[in-house]
Amino acid sequence: MNHGSLNPATRRLFLQRGAFGLGALGFLQAAGGLRGEPPRAAGGVLKELHHQPRAKRVIFLFMGGGPSQFETFDPKPKLNKLWGEPMPHSLTKGQRVAQLQGAPLVILGTHRKFAKCGKAGTEVSDLLPHLRKVMDEITLIRSMQTDAINHDPGVTFMQTGHQLPGRPAMGSWLSYGLGSENQNLPAYMVLLSGQGQDQNVKARYWSSGFLPTLHQGVQLRSPGEPVFYLANPPGMSSPVRRRILDSIRELNEVHLAATGDPEIATRIAQYEMAFRMQTSVPELTDWSKEPKSVLELYGEEVRKPGTFAANCLLARRLAERGVPFIQLYHRGWDHHDGIQGRIIQECKKVDQPCAGLLRDLKQRGLLKDTLVVWSGEFGRTPMAQGDSQAENYGRDHQMRAFTSWAAGGGIRAGAVHGATDEFGYNVVANPVHVHDLHATMLHLLGIEHTRLTYKFQGREHRLTDVAGKVVAGLLA
């Protein structure tokens, strides 16, 4: 912002406030401040990272509803052999199910074909032809575990490390810890796709919980106004808005000089950032100058706003602009019935865009410091829901074992981590709990997960609650 236009009294005040540790410039650039506590500088609360980071930002591809690992990443030939047989009671005894409560537990195979791909020969299903070609970038985690069996607590757990609402989302923790290198965009941005299908979604999934609201995820919407209230009212052009803002600022400066409340200085700075967002956000969402070759990486749907493909492209554009936490939230994986048909559709929507995103990041040199994570809130059962012999069967929720993947930003390239038993029911090697995934993500960003904390209701809280360990096997 233009400091030259500050009136002398204001400028004097800013300079005097050097005692607050930021100086005039820092004060004006402060991205925000919780009342009563000094505004942070461009960075977050961590003045320095705990160790050398491997990643500077995260793109989290959230697969809402819980994708089936058996149709995608975790082949289990035994299930095809035992198709229609009862699940071994020894495995399922006393274990939780969701919609299968009280139902017979019958084994369900799959029609999918798996093939070895990449240098490591990782088996991936025929529904993911594009991801098959980039498996050398990816580490598959076949041993994911969570604590929640239902969607709402499951998503909340993956997002915040706790099943009940009220804790900050992982993006909020990052915004709080690291801040953002981009002063024109929020540090935590969220993009939704799969509108109106299957899974509902809640703004609290990207809420900052007990952290200051400054750190809540800002939804980048499409179609429609990309950020709430970004557009001026009809009939008010940008120059008129600028003229109004000048008057507001002038009067606020007078009032700042009169009252001496530094909060007014912050408000002036925030109104200026709001004005800059009115330019930076439309510039961000306008991809008309992207070359055809880039669009083709993401597939045909990239041209349709609000699709997962379009959001992947936006994710890359956000990554380029230094937004540290970018979350895509795609709905459509809750296949309690009709799984064999529905999962074809869903894979089609995400396969090429995911692969395209990895390629696009790589060709720009961004993949090496961008951590990409793909995960649902849980996986699905090897047991059928509905008649395993008819055509309309599906799979229930499964929290004991599911598959996620990660790539880029310090993740081992082209590997498989962990394994499940021959039923895909229990993890038999290298379990990765959601808390461990969180700890590992923070580790890659240069943060020790036990040391990024916030005191609330009398105790130091953290993303990993009281658990979590960095999974060395995932690191490059």
Please, which of residues 36-75 interact with another protein by CB under 8 A? 36-39, 45, 47
Q: Which amino acid belongs to residue 262?
A: P
Q: How far is the CB of 355 from another protein (least distance, A)?
A: 27
Give residues with Cβ within 8 angstroms of 90, minimum separation 6: none
Looking at residues 96 to 115 of the shown chain, list those that interact with another protein (rule: CB under 8 A).
96-101
* CA separation for the pair 321, 185 (Å, rounded): 8
Contact between 414 and 119 (Cβ < 8 Å): yes
Tell me the closest approach of the beta carbon of residue 281 to another protein, in angstroms.
10
CA angle 123, 124, 128 (to 5 degrees): 165
Going by C-alpha positions, the residue among 325, 241, 305, 243 that lies closest to residue 279 is: 241
Taking the least distance from each CB to another protein, the nearer of 204 and 435 is: 204
The residue within the footprint of another protein, chosen from 213, 345, 389, 392 (CB under 8 A), is 213
Residue 455 CB, nearest approach to another protein (Å): 7
**Which of 323, 320, 281 has its CA nearest to residue 171?**
323
Length of the chain: 476
> In the range 220-249, which residues lie near another protein by CB under 8 A?
221, 224-225, 227-237, 239-241, 243-244, 246-248
Tokens, residue 352: 């090429």
200: which 2 tokens? 């509902």
Q: Minimum distance from CB of 178 to another protein (Å)?
A: 14
Strands 370-376 and 57-64 turn out to be parallel
Cβ 252 vs Cβ 204: under 8 Å? no
Which tokens sit at 340?
A: 């064999």
Q: Sort 43 into a burial class: Cβ within 10 Å, 0-12 / 13-18 / 19+.
A: middle
Q: Which two tokens stand for residue 182?
A: 């981009």
Select from 18-26, 105-113, 287-295, 314-322 the region that touches another protein (CB under 8 A).
18-26
Contact 434, 144 (CB under 8 A): yes
- Supply the minimum distance, in Å, between the C-beta of residue 391 and another protein: 13
Minimum distance of another protein from residue 426's CB (angstroms): 18
Among 126, 181, 198, 290, binds another protein (CB under 8 A): 198
Where in 20-39 is the site for another protein (CB under 8 A)?
20-22, 32-39
Q: How far apart are CA 233 and CA 413, in angstroms?
A: 49
Write the interaction track for another protein spanning residues 405-444; mark x where CB under 8 A is met and - where it is not. ----------------------------------------
Question: Which region among 62-70, 189-197, 314-322, 400-408 touches another protein (by CB under 8 A)?
Answer: 189-197
- Read off the tokens for 115: 């093939």
In the complex with another protein, the residue whose CB is nearer, 204 or 317, is 204
CA 71 – CA 110 distance, rounded (Å): 7
Contact residue for another protein among 88, 451, 472, 476 (CB under 8 A): 451
- Judged by CB under 8 A, the chain residues 292 through 331 that form the site for another protein are none
For the chain, the 3-state helix, strand and coil shares in percent, each to the nearest 5, are 35, 20, 45
Interaction residues for another protein, span 361-380 (CB under 8 A)? none
Q: How far apart are CA 115 and CA 121, in angstroms?
A: 8
Question: Helix (H, G, I), strand (E, B), or coil: what is residue 77?
Answer: helix
Closest distance to another protein from the beta carbon of 82 (Å): 24
Contacting another protein (CB under 8 A), which of 29, 80, 150, 340? 150
* Contact letters for another protein, residues 276-295 (x by CB under 8 A): -xx-----------------
Residues 154-173 that bind another protein (CB under 8 A): 164-166
Bin 432: left if φ > 0, else alpha if -120 < ψ < 50, else beta.
beta
User: Which range binds another protein by CB under 8 A, 54-62, 130-138, 199-207, 349-357?
Assistant: 199-207
Query: What's the token pair of residue 173?
Result: 């923790």
- Residue from 271, 290, 430, 467 touching another protein (CB under 8 A): that is 271
Rule CB under 8 A: choose which of 93, 289, 292, 455 binds another protein.
455
Task: Tell me the C-alpha distance between 4 and 2, whole Å.
Answer: 5
Considering only 255, 348, 412, 469, the residue that binds another protein (CB under 8 A) is 255
| Min dist. Cβ of residue 295 to another protein (A) | 25
Indicate the residue among 92 and 352 with the shorter CB distance to another protein.
Answer: 92
Closer to another protein by Cβ: residue 213 or 363: 213
Residue 266 interacting with another protein (CB under 8 A): yes
Q: Which is nearer to another protein, 7 or 363 (CB)?
A: 7
